[in-house]
Amino acid sequence: MDMSQYLDIFLEESEENIQRLNEDLLELEKDPENHDIVNSIFRAAHTLKGMAGSMGFERIADLTHKMENILDKIRNGELRVNSNIVTTLFKCVDKLEEMIDNIRNEGIEDADVDDIIEELKKIENSDSYEDNKKSQLVFELNEYDKDLIIKAKEKNYNVYKVKVTIYKDSVLKSARAFLVYKTLEEMGEIIKTVPSTEDLEQENFDNQFYVIVITQKNKEEIKGKVEGISEIEGVEVEALQENVHEESNQIKEEKEEIKLEKQIEKEEDKSTKKVHQSVRVDLERLDKFMNLVGELVIHRTRLEQISKDFKSQELHETLEQVGRITTDLQDLVMKVRMLPIEKVFNRFPRMVRDLAKELGKEVELIIKGEDTELDRTVIDEIGEPLVHLLRNAIDHGIETPEERIKQGKSAKGTVKLIAYQEGNKAVIKVEDDGKGIDINKIKKKAEQLGINTEGMTEHDIKNLIFLQGFSTSEKVTDISGRGVGMDVVKTKITSLGGSIEVISELGKGTAFIIRLPLTLSIIQALLVKVAEETFAISLGFIDRVIKIKLNEVKVSNNKEVIIYRDSVIPIVRLAQRLNLPEIDSDEKFVVIVKVGEKTVGLLVDSLLGQQEIVIKPIGKLLQNQKEYVGATILGDGLVTLILDVAALI
Amino acid sequence: MARVLIVDDAAFMRMMLKDILVKNGYEVVGEAPNGLKAVELYKQERPDVVTMDITMPEMDGIQAVKEIRAFDPNAKIIMCSAMGQQAMVMEAIKSGAKDFIVKPFQPERVLEALKKVLG
């Protein structure tokens, strides 16, 4: 039987399952006891196995089979999830991904799976119980505990950490632990045990455990009582000296905020994850469709122009109908091309996890607004710059846990990836609560590069990092710091018609804010005249348009500016900039445009009005004309260039 | 010398325990084959400590602990459990048992428990 006809669907579904495996494994790492997740992973692996087997991809089938074995043992409680198992499973998923990629590109799975299968076998045959038990005995207090301790101390209670060691050969250790628990509980309030009470109850501990107790009794009384229980090898009672006073409140608030956010996210999850009925459409057809609608818009505009000359009521009414329908059609095709940014965000949790592990940092990634929709061209292109920003945030932004604690922050850093729609723009924020940008370092670097930072605002100085060759990192790592990064990010985003800026506070963190147009093909534009030429400017950039007398243009710092409503706005003479003859007239118009936080006035001769235009690429020959993003055909058939505002200012 | 009440439905177990205790200077003031008898004997003898089996006919050890503790909130009771009776031991502890020993009995463990409970 020829299976090649199923290859596409096989590849697509395999990818979906691999994505699910990645997501589930991340969850499992956070919540190792959750059997629902194990089951979900099992199902994904099982589906992959079945599909690969039918397609004759033996290695994938073999690898997923071995994964199943381990997952099965976990389900049956024969194995306990530990970081080693999760890491190995991640490796398997990587391997599967590699094989799927190879199948897509070369038609064969071709990858060496022997090593990984060996590793899986080792896990399968090992009893992970032992090292798991040991690894669990890490004593750590969370913010909630700390807060309780502080409150107890304020009320003059004693807070003791009681370390209890039971005879190694004791049986019914859980009951023994419970006896200790009960004894301590009679003397005060227990706020925490390590391992957790559930683990104690299920005998998931070696022969030692900790109990934190808030009590009015003294050390000796506590020790004496616990020692009064049989089969106890030793009891150590230690007063807790947590210096948690200053940091605790602030951090607690943050934590609560995060918790709240998570909750909201979860709720959102529930509501948005409806089952959609869908049809898969070839992208090429969609592009063609888009193009045709574009043509239709052009001709509609042209028809409207012609109808003005005829002054026929009937024609006018019909055209209005056509106009409405084209607008709807346009909206629809735009929406069809839109994809939720989820597609891009999905791969980040895994990346962040790996990166954090590699760098020995603790990072929590919070993703919000993944259902924000963007044109698929943008979706395809935005991944790379975001990867770069995230890497930067983790490598340069987030400090090591030790350093963070020293700074009074929580050991775990937070990186937020937030997307939302703002007007006709989509905004993506990459925020970290790391060390922030040191403005002095940037100034120094700027000097080296011969940039005069005098008179620049702090904000402007920070935004110098987007210049080429600008890296202030002292050491180049694998991950970032080569100085080719930020300008590439900026170039990419500008080429998508978007803008990027940075806000940062030393010691508190950094936020990159990216603004992107929702769609790239049809825009509202203002048509302006410079000399004899007509140009289009996207309304998305325009703040307002004002009429001025030429003598209102002043010179400050060798730059031409106007003063408008108490703010100084630099002026760009478009005629000069585009090598056109300057028309001698007293009155001119200033189109005030905003790119990010930057505001500039474009000096033009006259205004022609606002219109919907379809962006057409200007072709290879003129591609290096940086001033233009494309061209459009107006209603009267005139070809007009569209100005790239971001490149002009 | 401390006075002990031994509760166990198996005469063999009672004998073993009695042996260990007597050899080490404890006085066994009574033996009960079930919880009902144990409660009755407790009220009558007021022993310093009780060793209490869990699974017994008529009335099990847990119920007996509850009734004895209701009669004497300071009663000191050590549960005698077999392996795998974790949950029941916990139940007994919740009901007020002070400690537990696990069968098969190791004399030093039994003595340690008694000594500590009598503290």
Contact A2, A326 (CB under 8 A): no
Residues of B in contact with A182 (CB under 8 A): 93-94
A171 to B102: CB separation less than 8 angstroms, yes or no: yes
| % pLDDT > 70, chain A | 87
Q: Which site among A179, A184, A198, A235 would you substitute to test the B interface, given the most B Cβ atoms closer than 10 Å to its Cβ? A: A179
**CATH number assigned to the domain comprising residue A626:** 2.40.50.180
| Mean pLDDT score, A25-37 | 85
Write the CATH number for B7.
3.40.50.2300
Regarding whether A349 and A332 lie in a shared domain, the answer is: no
In order of A2, A17, A69, B112, the CA distances from A100 in angstroms are: 19, 11, 21, 64
Q: Which of B89, B113, B119 sits opposite A172 (nearest CB)?
A: B89
Instruction: Note whether A172 contacts B85, CB cutoff 8 Å.
Output: yes
Q: Which residue has the tokens 């030393």?
A: A506
Yes or no, beta carbons of B109 and A178 under 8 Å apart: no
Which element (helix H / strand E) includes A642? strand A639-643
Q: A182 touching B, CB under 8 A?
A: yes
Q: A503 and A362 in one domain?
A: yes
Among all residues of chain A, which has the CA nearest to that of B118? A228
Task: Give the mutation candidate from A167, A172, A227 for the B interface (greatest B CB count, under 10 A).
Answer: A172
B-chain residues near A229 (CB < 8 A)? 99, 116
- Put simply, whether A223 touches B (Cβ < 8 Å) is no
Contact B81 A175 (CB under 8 A): yes
Q: Is A228 on the interface with B (CB under 8 A)?
A: yes
Sign of CA dihedral A494, A499, A505, A510: negative
d(CA A515, CA A424): 10
Query: How does pLDDT run across B58-92, given as a tens digit for each residue?
Result: 889 999 999 999 999 999 999 998 877 888 899 99
Among A496, A517, A538, which residue terminates a domain? A517
- Are residues A145 and A121 both part of a single domain? no
Do A230 and B101 make contact, defined as CB atoms within 8 angstroms? yes
d(CA A131, CA A205) in angstroms, rounded, equals 10
Q: Is the pLDDT of residue A361 over 60?
A: yes
ipTM metric: 0.86
Tens of pLDDT, residues A459-507: 888 878 877 666 655 444 444 444 447 777 887 887 777 888 888 888 8
Is A88 within the bounds of a domain? yes
Query: For residue A270, what pLDDT band results from cuts at 50, 70 and 90?
Result: very low
Residues A325, A385, single domain; the answer is no
Please answer whether residues A542 and A593 qualify as being in contact, where contact means their C-beta atoms are separated by less than 8 angstroms: yes
Q: Do A175 and B109 touch (CB under 8 A)?
A: no
Q: Mean pLDDT across the stretch A287-305?
A: 81
Q: Is residue A198 less than 8 Å (CB to CB) from chain B?
A: no
Supply the pLDDT for residue A469.
64
* Structural domain contains residue A259: no
The answer to which of A76-80, A480-484, A542-546, A605-609 has the lowest mean pLDDT is A480-484
* Model confidence band, residue A249 (pLDDT cutoffs 50, 70, 90): very low
Residue A453 counted as domain residue: yes
Residue A315 scores a pLDDT above 60: yes
- Mean pLDDT is lowest, of A88-97, A103-112, A548-557, for A103-112
Answer whether A373's CB lies under 8 Å from A413's CB: no
Residue-wise over A525-541: b if at least 16 C-beta within 10 A, else e? bbbbbbeeeebbbbebb
The verdict on A230 touching B (C-beta cutoff 8 Å) is: yes
* Closest chain B residue to A230, measured at CA: B113
Does the distance separating the beta carbons of A230 and B112 come in below 8 Å? Answer: yes
Percent of chain A exceeding pLDDT 90 equals: 9
A185 touches chain B (CB under 8 A): no
Q: Are residues A433 and A566 in the same domain?
A: no
Choice among A101-110, A272-281, B26-35 with the minimum mean pLDDT: A272-281
Q: What's the pLDDT at A289? A: 85
Choosing from A498, A517, A536, the residue where a domain stops is A517
Shared domain for A389 and A485, answered yes or no, is yes
In this structure, is residue A251 part of a structural domain?
no
Task: With respect to residue A545, please indicate whether it lies within any of the assigned structural domains.
Answer: yes
User: Parallel, antiparallel, or unpaired for β B49-53 and B77-81?
Assistant: parallel
Residues of chain B with Cβ-Cβ distance to A226 below 8 Å are none
Q: Is A589 helix (H, G, I), strand (E, B) or coil?
A: strand
- A459 and A491 in one domain? yes
Say which CATH number the domain at A105 has.
1.20.120.160
Q: In Å, how far is A183's CA from the nearest CA of chain B? A: 9
Active-site residue numbers of A? 46, 68, 392
Q: How many domains does chain A have?
A: 5
Lowest-confidence segment of A195-209, B22-36, B50-64 by average pLDDT:
A195-209
Provide, as residue numbers in chain B, all residues whose Cβ is less than 8 Å from the Cβ of A230: 99, 101, 109, 112-113, 116-117
Pairing of strands A413-422, A373-375: unpaired
User: What's the token pair of residue A538?
Assistant: 């996207």
The per-residue pLDDT for B21 is: 92
Residue of B nearest to A231 (CA): B109
The domain total for chain B is 1
Q: Which segment of A356-360, A511-515, B71-75 scores lowest on mean pLDDT?
A: A356-360
Could you say which of A175, A227, A228 has the minimum Cβ distance to residue B89? A175
- Chain A residues in contact with B112 by the CB 8 A cut-off are 230-231
Domain interval for residue A456:
343-517
Chain B residues with CB under 8 Å of A201 CB are 90
Q: A268 in a domain, yes or no?
A: no
Q: How far B83 CA lies from chain A's nearest CA (Å)?
A: 7
Q: Do residues A441 and A508 share a domain?
A: yes
Q: Would the CB atoms of B93 and A182 count as touching at under 8 Å?
A: yes
> Given pLDDT bands bounded at 50, 70 and 90, which one contains residue A272?
very low
Nearest C-alpha in A relative to B89: A175
CA atoms within 13 A on the CB side of B49: 23
Interchain CB contact of A203 with B (< 8 Å): yes
Residue B98's domain comprises 3-118
With contact defined as beta carbons under 8 Å apart, do A404 and A359 qualify? no
Mutate to test the interface with B, among A181, A223, A230 (most CBs of B within 10 A): A230
Same domain, A542 and A490: no
Taking contacts as CB-CB distances below 8 angstroms, the residues of chain A near B119 are 228
Residue A253 within a domain: no
B-chain residue closest to A224, CA distance: B119
Confidence at A583, pLDDT banded by 50, 70, 90: confident
Check residue A110 and give its pLDDT.
76
Instruction: Write out chain B residues lying below 8 Å of A180, CB-based.
Output: none
Chain B contact set for A228 (CB, 8 A): 116-117, 119
Q: For chains A and B, what is the number of CB pairs under 8 angstroms?
A: 44
* Residue among B89, B99, B109 minimizing CB distance to A229: B99
Q: Are A332 and A361 within one domain? A: no
3-state secondary structure A155-169: CCCEEEEEEEEECCC
CA distance A344 to A337: 15
- What average pLDDT does the structure give for chain A? 80
Q: Is the pLDDT of residue A316 over 80?
A: yes
Identify the closest residue of chain A to B119 by CA–CA distance: A228
Question: In terms of domains, do A64 and A101 share one?
Answer: yes
Amino acid A260: pLDDT:
54
Spatial separation of the C-alpha atoms in residues B26 and B10, rounded to whole Å: 20
**Which of A174, A201, A230 lies closest to B109 in CB terms?**
A230
Same domain, A530 and A513: no
Task: With respect to residue A261, please indicate whether it lies within any of the assigned structural domains.
Answer: no
